[in-house]
Amino acid sequence: MANYDVDLFVIGGGSGGVRAARVAASHGARVAIAEQANFGGTCVNRGCVPKKLLVYASRFPDQFRASRAYGWQQQDAQFDWASLITHKDTEISRLEAIYQRNLVNSGVVIHAEQATFEDANTLRLATSGQRVTARYSLIATGGYPHRAVFPGSELAITSDEAFHLPELPGRVLIVGGGYIAVEFAGIFAGLGVQTSIMIRGQQLLRGFDEDLARLLAEHQTRRGIALHTEQFIRQIEQTADGLRVSSSTGATYTVDTVMLCTGRKPNTRALGLEQAGVAVDDKGAIQVDAHSRTNIPSIYAVGDVTDRLNLTPVAIREGQAFADQLFGQITPLELDYELVPTAVFSTPELGTVGLTEAQARERFPDIRVLQTRFRAMTQAFAGSEDQVLMKVLIDNPTDRVVGVHLLGEGVAEMAQLIGVALTASARWQDFRRTVALHPSIAEELVTLRG
Ligand code: NDP
């Protein structure tokens, strides 16, 4: 048997790669990891974590407004973008250091540089020039923002730059209607930026339950976010008054910042996949089987670079399963991609588990839909027009709950636990016999009638 420098070489120190490296090392494997940017990857540095901090910041004005109804006198609150970004960066550095420390404490050798395959079992490190041979490799390099190319597209930013804007723009145009677009629309609008969204279709959040997407659009309109539908950017020009955006409809919009949120691409840049013989699909994602193995037996891949379900906890589960199976001979926990709970941290936020109504109707002939829409007590008391939407989809013959879709305050936290119920194959009868917790928003979910 050939001798290798390491048992496992992980490329990419994000959520999936770090989990796999640590677990493999805990099973006794000799592990090295290469990360060319920041440990923690997109989630910690340019994604979920800083995004959620900005979302929290953007929701304070609503609370300040509501506080008057609760007897608090008006405060003269001033917002300072620079201090938020500085504080956020301090927190991200702290988290990144924890990621690195955990790797070192697990016995993983860290290479803070780019790694490229020379062949299926040899990696070359870009800065040190070092060569490392590996019995197995794991590609966990994530994704990067897709940037459409059109005249002036270089004047636009993506989510990568949005976390480090030197100042808050006065006017922003967000292109795209997915997760990142609606989350940043909520952040900017909440912080007082004149915000608009441009989508090529008619509806935000394609792929989510349509009732949720429609109600989110209503709320966003009420919050002053303009929605420009069925159009795309033809060009952006720099003018004295800002960026002049020409749309495919002939309309023009002048803003300070254009942010492209038109999806993400698998990050296979400079990996040397050809030298290793690793196959990618037509979108550039690394093709893997159910065990995350590529077409090359010694090379595996997890997370966004495989474009399965691009969410941090999914990458973590894939990384854990890979390492447990290969180095611990442990059968991994089953991962049902259809029952992964997910949230969109727009304002108001969305929480969802299972099939959308359209998917459920396609899959099952006899679907019952229970739905309620109401103003929560906190909102009604404060005079807010915000509403909560709850929608439950039931397969009638079996009484199985096949989808739950929520919009409103705090629903992301609910979605996590509804995920437990649906993973345990809960029936509607199980929801119904659960006693309501009063007074709460979530209680409406077990008292729904239909
Ligand atoms: P999404 O895939 O969610 O949305 C992409 C959006 O861009 C869609 O509205 C799409 O329109 C539009 N679009 C795509 N190509 C073009 C184009 N050429 N011109 C105009 N519009 C275009 O991508 P995001 O970038 O928002 O997010 C990337 C991924 O990151 C998500 O899929 C998600 O997995 C993850 N993520 C998760 C979060 C969470 O869990 N809360 C938060 C943020 C990101 P159309 O609908 O017409 O196709």
Number of domain units in the chain? 3
Check pocket membership of 352 for ligand 1, CB cut-off 6 A: no
In a domain? residue 1: no
1: pLDDT strictly greater than 70: no
273: pLDDT strictly greater than 60: yes
pLDDT for 248 equals 98
Check pocket membership of 200 for ligand 1, CB cut-off 6 A: yes
pLDDT for 44 equals 97
Tell me which of 74-88, 159-173, 387-401, 412-426 is least confident.
Answer: 74-88
pLDDT for 449 equals 86
Shared domain for 85 and 53, answered yes or no, is: yes
Shared domain for 290 and 367, answered yes or no, is: no
Give the number of the atom of ligand 1 that is nearest the alpha carbon of residue 345.
41
Give the pLDDT confidence of 56-95 residue by residue, as tens digits.
Answer: 999 999 999 999 999 999 778 999 999 999 999 999 999 9
Long-range contacts of range 234-240, CB-CB < 8 Å, 24 or more positions apart?
234/150, 234/151, 235/150, 235/151, 235/152, 236/150, 236/151, 236/152, 236/153, 236/155, 236/156, 237/151, 237/152, 238/152, 238/155
140: pLDDT strictly greater than 90: yes
Give the number of the atom of ligand 1 that is nearest the alpha carbon of residue 145.
25
Give the pLDDT confidence of 320-345 residue by residue, as tens digits.
Answer: 999 999 999 999 998 999 999 999 99
Q: Rounded CA gap, 422 and 415, in Å?
A: 10
- Cα dist. 330→7, 99, 358 in Å? 17, 24, 37
pLDDT for 75 equals 73
Domain with 434, as residue range(s), is 337-446
Domain boundary residue among 283, 298, 327? 327
pLDDT for 111 equals 98
Active-site annotation holds for 87: no
Shared domain for 141 and 179, answered yes or no, is: no
Average pLDDT over residues 359-372: 97
Confidence of residue 301 (pLDDT cuts 50, 70, 90): very high
Give the number of the atom of ligand 1 that is nearest the alpha carbon of residue 182.
26
Check pocket membership of 188 for ligand 1, CB cut-off 6 A: no
Closest CA to 169 of 240, 233, 81: 81
What phi-psi label fits residue 28: left (phi over 0), alpha (psi between -120 and 50 degrees) or beta? left
CB 197 within 8 A of CB 177: yes
Check pocket membership of 260 for ligand 1, CB cut-off 6 A: no
> Candidates 206, 235, 262, 312: which one to mutate for ligand 1, based on the most atoms within 8 Å of Cβ?
262
Give the pLDDT confidence of 15-48 residue by residue, as tens digits.
Answer: 999 999 999 999 999 999 999 999 999 999 999 9
Q: Whose CA is nearest to atom 3 of ligand 1?
A: 178
Angle at 160 between CA 157 and CA 166, to 5 degrees: 70
Domain boundary residue among 294, 327, 360? 327
Closest CA to 393 of 372, 369, 417: 369
In a domain? residue 97: yes
Q: What number of H helices and E strands is found in the chain?
A: 14, 21
Q: Whose CA is nearest to atom 9 of ligand 1?
A: 177
Shared domain for 33 and 114, answered yes or no, is: yes
CA 171 to chain centre: 25
Check pocket membership of 323 for ligand 1, CB cut-off 6 A: no
> Candidates 212, 264, 267, 337: which one to mutate for ligand 1, based on the most atoms within 8 Å of Cβ?
264
Check pocket membership of 207 for ligand 1, CB cut-off 6 A: no
pLDDT for 413 equals 98
- The side-by-side arrangement of strands in the sheet containing 367-374 is 342-344, 350-354, 400-407, 388-395, 367-374
pLDDT for 28 equals 98
Give the number of the atom of ligand 1 that is nearest the alpha carbon of residue 201.
47
Shared domain for 107 and 174, answered yes or no, is: no
**Predicted TM-score (pTM) of this structure:** 0.97
Give the number of the atom of ligand 1 that is nearest the alpha carbon of residue 47.
43
> Candidates 48, 53, 200: which one to mutate for ligand 1, based on the most atoms within 8 Å of Cβ?
200
Shared domain for 17 and 105, answered yes or no, is: yes
Domain boundary residue among 262, 281, 297? 262
Shared domain for 346 and 316, answered yes or no, is: no
Q: Mean of the per-residue pLDDT values for the chain?
A: 97
pLDDT for 76 equals 83
Shared domain for 26 and 129, answered yes or no, is: yes
Confidence of residue 228 (pLDDT cuts 50, 70, 90): very high
2: pLDDT strictly greater than 90: no
Check pocket membership of 186 for ligand 1, CB cut-off 6 A: no
pLDDT for 295 equals 98
Q: Rounded CA gap, 89 and 83, in Å?
A: 10
Distance between Cα 188 and ligand 1 center (Å): 18
In a domain? residue 195: yes
Marked catalytic residue, from 27, 164, 405, 438 = 438
110: pLDDT strictly greater than 90: yes
385: pLDDT strictly greater than 90: yes
Shared domain for 136 and 176, answered yes or no, is: no
CA torsion through residues 86, 87, 89, 94, sign: positive
Closest CA to 400 of 429, 420, 369: 429
CATH of the domain at 401: 3.30.390.30
Confidence of residue 96 (pLDDT cuts 50, 70, 90): very high
In a domain? residue 332: no
